[in-house]
Each structure stands twice: as structure tokens, then as C-alpha cells.
Chain A
Amino acid sequence: MIDFELTRVGTPDAAVQIAAATPTAQQGATVRFIAGGTNLIDYMKLDVETPQHLVDINRIPDLAKVEKQPDGSLKIGALVRNSDLAQAPEVLAEYPVLSQALLSGASAQLRNKATTSGNLLQRTRCPYFRDLAYAECNKRTPGSGCAAIGGYHRNHAILGVSDQCIATHASDMDVALMVLDAVIHVQGIKGNRTIPIGEFYKLPGTTPHIENALEPGDLITHVTLPALPETKQIYLKLRDRASYEFALASAAIVMQVQGGRLRHVRVAMGGVGTRPWRMPEAEHALEGQAPGEGVFRAAADAALKTARPHTDNAFKIPLAKLCMIRALTTVTNA
């Protein structure tokens, strides 16, 4: 671990001002915000993250609240802890998919520390990204290569991959936020702006080190979830062990069944993509259809059509299909 400076700030303005000094808000950032620290500190110990300056945002007032807005949307502060968010009455009542996703992730101890904004910025578990002994990692060192391709990649991504990176996005919460059309509110050096979650995460392409739309100085202040009509929701997670384990495949689904037809269908999957993976192909195949195994199977096939597996993670294609079909079956019967 390298030496770093720690500054505790009391306002978003102060945080943004310090963070503006970093040349990038992506891999290689010299200034990082720290909230729960459950991810960042791991990577600092491994020298994967080497910020010179940490800005502790935990004392900024009002960022730890969950509030219903006049327009019916839900405002979730950046510092709301995962365990608090999972148990928030508004979330349990209107966005149960989010609660289920949160509770399926990590462990109780980690959820007590981890925050909403931190989870949005969770890094991959790719072992090569984490281990400096492997020089090849385009995400860590642009242009160096990808050790996972041709290496150990059983839990790597099959969707959104490139020849330069196949790292899986590890979050459960963010998969639920994808189907809830969450909006990310950012305060930056040029003022405040909003980023729909669908535009927040970047595909690796030729720049795997650029993971999201944040610029130097940007501080996520809160997330809003638009009001939803009454829907059926589910989060289903498949993994190697029964708890405290990342997904091999997970599915988040929001839908309505009206007059025997599927409406307002939103599907996203985790554990399979280089980012939380919204599946418009599946949604298109399901929207307006009568629920049934054939329809579900067609949706799953459509969603996984562009999958690009490697030797050891090809099983994720049939597994992801099972996951989605089962989630659809369960939620339509709920």
C-alpha cells in the first residue's frame, strides 16, 4: 500500500473541489471518494487502486436518506447502506426486486458497510485484475493485454465482452437498478446532472479501463427510482454456494400481467455481462405475449444470442437461460 492523504469533508462542494484534481475518475484516479470502503480498501491493499488522496464523504449530511419525492419517485442517498436500503419500507413495498438483489449480495457485515454509490462503482472480481503479478490486464494497465482470455475464466462474462476484456460486472444491486430505470444524480465541477443507469456503464471495447460515465470531480449524490405502476418483481441468483458468493447468473425482472398478457416487461441479468445487462431482446420477445414456457424460452434464446463464451464459461449460456426462464415462470405465477 502506498501513502495517501485523507480528508474528511462536510459538503458535496468540498468533495467535488478536491476530486477535481484527479486526471481521471476511472482506473488510475489519484483522488477517490471513500464511503463504506468495502471494495476500494481491498483494491488499495492489492495496489490495484493507488489514490494519493482519499476524500471521506461519510460525514456529508443528508446523503444517507431514503425519501419519497412529490412526483412519486424514490430518492436514495449515496450513503444509504445496503442493509438499510434493503429494509426500507418504500423499497420493500414498491421495489422488492431491489431488496431481493441487495440481500442476495455479499454478507450481512459487508451490507452494513457498503453504500449505494459504492455499489454502483463496484469493481470486477477478475483475479487477473486483482493480481499485479500478472502484467496483462487492459483494465488495470491499458494496452497490456488480457490474462483472463486463455487463462482461468470460469466466472467471466459472456455478454458485452471484447478481445481486450471479459471481466464480469459483479454487482447484484445494479442489476435491479437496471430494470427499475434508475437515474444517477451527479454533482460535478460544472454543476449537477443526471445520468440514466442505462447510459452509466461503458462496454469494455478497446477501453476496458473506462467503466462508467463519471468525470474528474463527479460525486454521486443520490439515485432516483421512477414511480412504478403496480408490478410483479423478482430477483433470482444462481451461484456455486448458497450464500456470500457472486452470481454465475442472476435475473431481475419487473412486469405486469394484464388480461393474460405480459406488459411493462423489463429484464436484466447479472453475472453474465461486462456491465449489469439489460435485455431489450428478451423484453421485446415477451411484451404483449401470453406467459408460457415457449415464450420464455424464446425470450431467453433471444437475450443470449449475442453471447461470446470462452472455453470454461460456455456453461453460462444454458445456465443464464435456465435462470431467466425460472425467474419468468416464478414471477408470472406470483
Chain B
Amino acid sequence: MEQQTPQPITESKIVGVPTPRIDGPLKTTGTAMYSSDHHFPGLVYAWPVTATIASGTISGIDSSSAEKMPGVLAIYTHKNIGPLYRTPPSAGFSMILDERRPPLEDEIVRYYGQYVAVAIAHTVEQARAAAEAVKVTYNKTPHDTSDKLLDTPTIAGKLKEVTKRGDTAAALAGAAYKHDAVYSTPTETHNPIELHASVAVYKDGKFTLYETSQAVVNHRDVMAAMLGVPPENVQVITRFLGSGFGGKLWPWPHALLAAASARNLNRPVKLVVGRSMMFQSVGHRPAIDQRVQLAADKSGKLLAIQHDYVNHTSMLDDYDEGCAESTGFMYSCPNVLATSGLVRRNVGTPTSMRGPGAVPGLYALESAMDELATKLNIDPVQLRLLNEPEKDESTGQPFSSRHLKECLTVGAEKFGWAKRNPAVGSMKDAEGRTLGWGVAACTWIATRTDAEVNVELRQDGAARVACGTQDIGTGTYTAVAQMVAHETGLPLQRIDVVIGDSGLPPGPISGGSWATASVVPAALQAAQQARKQLLSLSTKTDGCPFKDKSVDELEFVDGVVRIKGQSSGGVPFAEILKTANVRSVSGTGKSTGLFGDPNQKFSFHSFGAQFAEVTWQPEIARLHVSRVVTVIDAGRMINPRAARNQIEGAVVMGVGMAMLEATEYDHRSGGPINASLADYIVAVNADCPNIDVTFLDYPDFNLNPLGARGVGEIGLAGIAAAITNAVHHATGIRVRNLPVRIEDLLVAPGNKTS
């Protein structure tokens, strides 16, 4: 499709209006059908057997007693699972998955928790009991789950250049003010409340798969390729998701176990991944070491940035976290070098977790900026303002819309930053607790991907909008309805949004914070096409007052067809359809994405500023994040209510990242040892700060006609640095390996090393 110059839409009665979720009542009444809620006659249950070694080969599987247990239908291993194939290389947003080896492909075990068999039985209890009765023996080989990453052998043997300009080494050597430190972040596990699940129905060679997927179209393509059937023989359905945080973007091996079992037994199979397995075989944010070197002159002007990161990946797959994504354009700096390295560990394959790359990357970069500000004795907000670039210095492109300076100044004003005394431990609250105030800037990519949308105007007076995207709980149903409501003038309750089905026109993945922005042009175009068809029908229908008028004389306003500019004499579109005995008119919109387009005219990014306050009680080593002010520049908010919810949730997740979350491996077994929601602790209500969210309203019309970008991830970027910077301000302790723990703060002020 030709790139169209977007016509900015500045006025709307519904876009930009805080709107309750249209799917809210379904969820609050428990009637929304999540994937594992689906049930079918004859459905049986699968429970995987997981490896209890991290490296080696299976020497034997004795399933004889398990097979004789009550209700057991089958035990599948690498010997009898039947054909499962690897995918061809991915292209665009098809054939993407992170763990490319099909489950049970061979007898080799490469990580603790890898599936080695699966038990199928009439009840889930029977399946689990049978799985536990399968006796697997192994020939163990040495494994490595070490979280020491920097300066260990990388896959490529050397660090890969991510971005480069100027002569960083020379600038670092000659600078008067320098900072050099390593920042470490641990393995983090996505813990959506909804467990990963697959309900696989197999009939007449066709698969209907109810999956927990953030990308139903890609999921369909991958499953078809791995099951060895044409894509039209696979339908993937995800009506509702209990969130995913990136963990459900791409298919994981359990989906293949369920589908292959359904095929083998010719009956529906349900597999719900157990919570402990969620820590093993459905991805995680990898452990990362990042060394950041900064150089500046006395005034604070950056002279050099070097950012070298290494993340762990699995034994078979190369997952690159992409921590330096923003290093090249965040600040104005003549000399920049960023490199990446991957190291193999005996862990499950890592995957995207909310804000992949930027979230850990900005933790490192924005911590380093704070440390540099301290060395320079410059206010950390000022240091960032001083280094604001005119353009994207990594590509030379102008920014489509960048208002980071305003984010910082507005945030500083709202937070009361002017009252900050930079001396460590110098500020107290009314109860005598020490206060720490920290700031960090943040950014996240803005883009659009290909999208196709169908809009239908029906004789019953409702509109149906269909797109093969999905709602992971963030409000996509509502945002899509708002777009169509804007274009048709219909109220939200008369718009049926149909998404979460791979059989629909292909839509964007729910990832990268670009689902909404991607759908906008196609949805508007589809509604316009449907309107054209409606007006055309009006001019051709006997008994319709607009018969034989020209389409150009007519308009479609608030659900009514009328002569342009005449408020009387209009006819509701449903009546026209009834008169014509046409059930519906429809239109399809298709838009081509900007993602990966080398000829982009602009550098598209969202920006923000995070201000955090912690209270610190050294007498009991108690740290609490008390207040966060977040200012976000992410274009126009289609639904400010859902958008605010996204930022608030991200801030809470940021408290978890900064202070609580880490997947702990027992390095003797190689397995995650805190693999439960009691032992892997996330923030609870009592840990939540007061959160003040502000959106700067700068529509980005270069991206789409509504000027919308996305807010799913940016709220988590920078927040950990803002918190640890505040911790330093309160305590004098600089924690460079997350999470900040009580024991880190018990030591005498100084630097904690990893």
C-alpha cells in the first residue's frame, strides 16, 4: 500500500475522552471467556513432566506404572509425540518464536524445567499424578546458570557494535569528569495472574486452538508450521487475556504439547501451565550486566557515552535484550559507542518483558547520569536539560515529536523538585523519616505495523469492527470501538468489537506499545469505506429519500445519512439498509507499517520523566516508595482513563523491579528456586506509592491521523533508576544490582558492588 499523508484529526467527541472499558462488565461478572475457560465434550487434560536437571541427556523414561494409573490415556515422550517441525526463518511479524526447538524433539536436556514428557488423562488431577509417576533417568553433564556475565565468553566471541559515532575511547581518556560503573539486573519472571494455557481442539485435520496469545496471527502461522499443516487448518482464538507483559507474545512449547496430544488422541486437550513452570519454560527477562562510561566537561555537557551490555540467553536460541536501543539518541553527545554480547546459560529461552531493552537499559543509563550529576555537582534535572539533542544524533533524522524537556520541567514543578536539598540524607518528612528524591528520563519506541480492519454497518443499527489483534487487558476493545465511534458517530454500545481470532483480517501484535497506533489508520479507512458504500446504497435504493442524489451531496453524521449540512431530513442508516433489504455494508482498511522502514522521515519515540520519593527509616532499615510523579509525552491518548491505568500499573511494576523481583537460581540444580508467587515477591497494595500521572498532549500526526502513539511500556522505563537514585539521595548507598534489598541498606554508606 502507498503511504498516505495523514489528515490530522484534531476534534473528536469520543477520541481523547476518558472512557470506561466496554468489556468491563464481562470481566467483573466472570462471563469473559479466558482461554482456559473453554471446555468441550470429551476434553481431556495434559500435565507436563519437567526435567530436574539443567544439562544432559535422558537415559530412560519409564512410564509403565503411570500408564496404568486411573484415567490415563497416554504418556508422550520424544519417542511417540509424533511429527513436530521447526519453523522457517521469521519474516515481518510471522514465524516468530523465541524457543525454536519443538518440545520433545530429542533426548537432550538444556535447562531445568524443560518438558521431557506429557501425561494425558481424563481429569487434571489424574494427569498430574501420572506425570509425577513417570520415572525419568538422566546422564547429567555440567551446567552453567551463573549470573556473572560481563567478561565471560560471549557467543560471538566479541562484543557487537549497536551504535557508534565519534571517538569514544579518546573522549573518555581526555575528559575531566568521568563515570564508570557496572549495573546488574537479575532474571525477572513475568507473572500475569492468568497462567499460560492451551485448549486444543482437533477435528478432521483442522486445529482450533484457544491460546493465551498476544499475537494470534503469528501464533497461527507458527503452530501451522510446527504441526506441519497449512495455515488455513489452524485457527487461534484469544478472546481475553489475563495480561501477558510480553511473556505471551510468541508461542511456547506447551502449546505444541497440547495441539500434538489433541491430534494424536483425536480429542480436545487442555493444558494449563503450572505456576512453577511459569518460571522455567515460558520466557523471562534475562539477567544482564551493563557497563556504562560517561564523560563530561565541567559544565555538564556530555562528551562521551559508552554502554556495553551482556545478557544471558539459552543454549539454543539467541535472545538479545537490546539494552542500548535508546543510548544513541537519548542525549546530545559527539562520541557514543554501544555494544552488546550474549552468553549461553542453561536456562529457558528469555523473551520480551514489558519494555524489553529500554527498561533495563535506562536503569543503567539513567543511574549513570545521576552518578555523573553528583560528581559534577549539577542538579540531575539540569544535567538532562543541558544535554537535550536537536535531532536524533544516531540517525540524523528529526524527531517526529519530542518533548522531554517539558516532561522534566513539568514533572519537576509537580513534584516540588525546587525544594530538593542535594545533600544525602538531608531531607525529612513530618514524621522524621529521611526522604530521598530521584529523577530519571525515559523513552520508548513509537511506530506502526501493518494492519487490516473490517467495519460493517448492519441493519440492526450496530457496527461490527473486526481485526486480528487482541486485548491483553489494556483496553484495545475500547480503543478500537472509540475509533469507529469517532468515524461513524455511533455510540459505543452499538459497536461490536471482534478481535482475538486469527481468522479475522490480520492485525498487529499486542506488543511494543504499538497495537493502538497501528490499528488507527486501517480502522478509520475501513469505516470510511463502509460509509462510502452506505452513501452509494442510499443513492440507489428505491424508497430512500436520497435515491438518485449524488454521493457527493450526502454525508453520514451521528449514524444518520443526510444532505450535507442539513440537520433535518436525515435517515438512520439502519432504515436505509432495511429499505434496500441489504443486511450490511462494509469496508476494509489496510495500512502499511513504519516498523523497520529504512526510508522513515522521522525518528519516532515517546518520552517521559519519572520523579520518585522514598522514605527511609535507618533505625529499622525500612525503605518505602512514597510518591511518584510521571509525565509522559506519547502523543494523543485515545482513552486517557486506560492510558493512566497503564502508567500506574507500570509504576507499581517498577517498584517491584527496583525493590523486590528476582528469579533466584539454585546453581547446583540449575533450577529457579523461588518459583512461586509466595517466594517471588511482587509489589502488593501496601507497597504502592501515590502516583501522579500527567500526559503532555502533543498528537503525533506523523504517525497516524489521530496522533496516537502508545503507553504500554514507557511507564516502566526509567522508574527503577528514579527509585535507586532516590535511595542514594536518602541513604548515600548506591545500589547497582537490582533489586535493592534490606541487606544492601544495612551496610555503611558506600558502594554496593555486584
Verify that A and B bind, or say they do not: yes
Which B657-711 residues have a C-beta within 8 angstroms of A? 659-660, 664, 666, 668-669, 671, 673-674, 678-679, 681, 683-687
- Chain A, interface residues (CB within 8 Å), range: 20 to 34
Given contacts A1-B125, A152-B666, A318-B746, A241 and B686 within 8 Å (CB-CB):
yes
Q: Which of A131, A240, A243, A326 makes the CB contact (< 8 A) with B619?
A: A326
Q: Is B354 an interface residue (CB 8 A)?
A: no
Which B638-665 residues have a C-beta within 8 angstroms of A? 659-660, 664
Q: Which residues of B contact A125 (CB under 8 A)?
A: 678-679
Bits for A146-174, please: 1 = Cβ < 8 Å to B, else 0.
Answer: 01001110000000000000000000000
Give Cα A241 to B125, complex, Å.
34
Q: Is chain B's interface secondary structure helix, strand, loop, or mixed overall?
A: mixed
Q: Is A97 an interface residue (CB 8 A)?
A: no
Query: A320 to chain B: closest CB distance in Å?
Result: 11
Q: Are A315 and B684 in contact (CB under 8 A)?
A: no
Query: B627 to chain A: closest CB distance in Å?
Result: 15
Bits for B243-272, please: 1 = Cβ < 8 Å to A, else 0.
Answer: 000000000000000000000000000000
Q: Which residues of B contact A56 (CB under 8 A)?
A: none
Q: Which of B129, B132, B669, B685 makes the CB contact (< 8 A) with A243?
A: B685
Among A125, A131, A147, A243, residue most surrounded by chain B Cβ atoms (within 10 Å): A131
Give Cα A1 to B687, complex, Å.
35
Q: Which of B132, B621, B668, B673 makes the CB contact (< 8 A) with A47?
A: B132
Q: Which residues of B contact A242 (CB under 8 A)?
A: 624, 684, 686-687
Given contacts A134-B669, A151-B668, A240-B742, A319 and B681 within 8 Å (CB-CB):
no
Q: Are B681 and A245 in contact (CB under 8 A)?
A: yes
Q: Are B52 and A241 in contact (CB under 8 A)?
A: no
Give Cα A150 to B621, complex, Å.
26
Q: Are B684 and A241 in contact (CB under 8 A)?
A: yes
Give Cα A2 to B132, complex, Å.
11
Q: Which residues of A contact B673 (CB under 8 A)?
A: 127-128, 131, 151-152
Give Cα A243 to B683, complex, Å.
9
Q: Which residues of A contact B678 (CB under 8 A)?
A: 125
Q: Which residues of B contact A114 (CB under 8 A)?
A: none
Q: Which residues of B contact A325 (CB under 8 A)?
A: 619
Q: Which residues of B contact A4 (CB under 8 A)?
A: none
Q: Which residues of A contact B431 (CB under 8 A)?
A: none
Q: Which residues of A contact B190 (CB under 8 A)?
A: none
Q: Is B741 an interface residue (CB 8 A)?
A: yes
Q: Is A133 an interface residue (CB 8 A)?
A: yes
Give Cα A147 to B668, complex, Å.
10
Q: Which residues of A contact B683 (CB under 8 A)?
A: 241
Among B619, B674, B686, B743, residue most surrounded by chain A Cβ atoms (within 10 Å): B743
Which A1-56 residues have a C-beta within 8 angstroms of B? 1-2, 47
Q: Are B129 and A1 in contact (CB under 8 A)?
A: yes
Q: Which residues of B contact A245 (CB under 8 A)?
A: 681, 684
Give Cα A280 to B618, complex, Å.
27
Q: Is A248 an interface residue (CB 8 A)?
A: yes
Q: Are A151 and B666 in contact (CB under 8 A)?
A: yes
Bits for B14-55, please: 1 = Cβ < 8 Å to A, else 0.
Answer: 000000000000000000000000000000000000001000
Q: Are B674 and A152 in contact (CB under 8 A)?
A: yes
Q: Are B666 and A238 in contact (CB under 8 A)?
A: no
Q: Is B110 an interface residue (CB 8 A)?
A: no
Which A286-331 residues have a C-beta within 8 angstroms of B? 315, 318-319, 322-323, 325-326, 329
Q: Which residues of B contact A80 (CB under 8 A)?
A: none
Q: Are B666 and A322 in contact (CB under 8 A)?
A: no
Query: B516 to chain A: closest CB distance in Å?
Result: 32
Query: B223 to chain A: closest CB distance in Å?
Result: 30
Q: Which residues of A contact B685 (CB under 8 A)?
A: 243
Q: Are B669 and A244 in contact (CB under 8 A)?
A: no
Q: Are B671 and A319 in contact (CB under 8 A)?
A: no
Q: Is B620 an interface residue (CB 8 A)?
A: yes
What residue of chain A has the Cβ atom nearest to residue B624's Cβ?
A: A242
Q: Which residues of B contact A147 (CB under 8 A)?
A: 666, 668
Which A92-147 residues have a C-beta within 8 angstroms of B? 125, 127-128, 131, 133-134, 147
Which B127-142 residues have a C-beta within 8 angstroms of A? 128-129, 132
Q: Is A236 an interface residue (CB 8 A)?
A: yes
Q: Which residues of B contact A151 (CB under 8 A)?
A: 666, 668, 673
Q: Which residues of A contact B660 (CB under 8 A)?
A: 240-241
Q: Are A241 and B681 in contact (CB under 8 A)?
A: yes
Q: Which of B621, B624, B684 makes the CB contact (< 8 A) with A244?
A: B684
Q: Is B428 an interface residue (CB 8 A)?
A: no
Q: Which residues of B contact A241 (CB under 8 A)?
A: 659-660, 681, 683-684, 686-687
Q: Which residues of A contact B68 (CB under 8 A)?
A: none
Query: A195 to chain B: closest CB distance in Å?
Result: 30
Query: A309 to chain B: closest CB distance in Å?
Result: 11
Q: Which residues of A contact B743 (CB under 8 A)?
A: 315, 319
Give Cα A322 to B683, complex, Å.
24
Q: Which residues of B contact A2 (CB under 8 A)?
A: 129
Bits for A69-107, please: 1 = Cβ < 8 Å to B, else 0.
Answer: 000000000000000000000000000000000000000
What residue of chain B has the Cβ atom nearest to residue A329's Cβ?
A: B619
Query: A318 to chain B: closest CB distance in Å?
Result: 5
Q: Which residues of B contact A133 (CB under 8 A)?
A: 52, 669, 671
Q: Which residues of A contact B621 (CB under 8 A)?
A: 238, 319, 322
What residue of chain A has the Cβ atom nearest to residue B70's Cβ?
A: A3
Q: Is B622 an interface residue (CB 8 A)?
A: yes
Q: Which residues of A contact B52 (CB under 8 A)?
A: 133
Which B729-750 residues have a C-beta within 8 angstroms of A? 741-743, 746
Q: Which of A1, A128, A319 makes the CB contact (< 8 A) with B746?
A: A319
Q: Which residues of A contact B129 (CB under 8 A)?
A: 1-2
What residue of chain A has the Cβ atom nearest to residue B619's Cβ?
A: A326
Give Cα A222 to B663, complex, Å.
41
Q: Which residues of B contact A238 (CB under 8 A)?
A: 620-622, 742
What residue of chain B has the Cβ atom nearest to residue A47's Cβ?
A: B132
What residue of chain B has the Cβ atom nearest to residue A133's Cβ?
A: B52
Give Cα A325 to B621, complex, Å.
12
Give Cα A322 to B620, complex, Å.
6
Query: B58 to chain A: closest CB distance in Å?
Result: 16
Give Cα A297 to B9, complex, Å.
69
Query: A41 to chain B: closest CB distance in Å?
Result: 13
Q: Are A240 and B681 in contact (CB under 8 A)?
A: yes
Give Cα A243 to B685, complex, Å.
8
Q: Are A152 and B741 in contact (CB under 8 A)?
A: no
Q: Which of B128, B674, B686, B746 makes the CB contact (< 8 A) with A127?
A: B674
Q: Are B620 and A323 in contact (CB under 8 A)?
A: yes
What residue of chain B has the Cβ atom nearest to residue A132's Cβ?
A: B132
Give Cα A238 to B621, complex, Å.
8
What residue of chain A has the Cβ atom nearest to residue B620's Cβ?
A: A326
What residue of chain B has the Cβ atom nearest to residue A236's Cβ?
A: B620
Q: Are A150 and B668 in contact (CB under 8 A)?
A: yes
Q: Which residues of B contact A243 (CB under 8 A)?
A: 684-687
Q: Which residues of B contact A322 (CB under 8 A)?
A: 619-621, 746
Query: A316 to chain B: closest CB distance in Å?
Result: 9
Bits for A234-273, please: 1 = Cβ < 8 Å to B, else 0.
Answer: 0010101111110010000000000000000000000000
Query: B623 to chain A: closest CB distance in Å?
Result: 10
Give Cα A1 to B127, complex, Å.
11
Query: B68 to chain A: closest CB distance in Å?
Result: 15
Give Cα A268 to B219, complex, Å.
56
Q: Which residues of B contact A323 (CB under 8 A)?
A: 620
Give Cα A1 to B742, complex, Å.
37
A-B contact pairs, 16 of them (CB 8 A): A1-B125, A125-B679, A134-B669, A152-B664, A238-B620, A238-B622, A240-B659, A242-B624, A242-B686, A243-B687, A245-B681, A245-B684, A315-B742, A319-B621, A322-B619, A326-B620
Instruction: Give me the 9 closest cross-chain CB pairs, A-B, nearest first.
Output: A315-B743, A242-B686, A243-B686, A152-B673, A133-B52, A326-B620, A242-B687, A127-B673, A243-B684
| 19 other A-B residue contacts (CB within 8 Å) besides A128-B673, A243-B686, A318-B746 | A47-B132, A125-B679, A133-B52, A147-B668, A150-B668, A151-B673, A238-B620, A240-B741, A241-B659, A241-B687, A243-B685, A315-B742, A319-B742, A319-B746, A322-B619, A322-B620, A322-B621, A322-B746, A329-B619
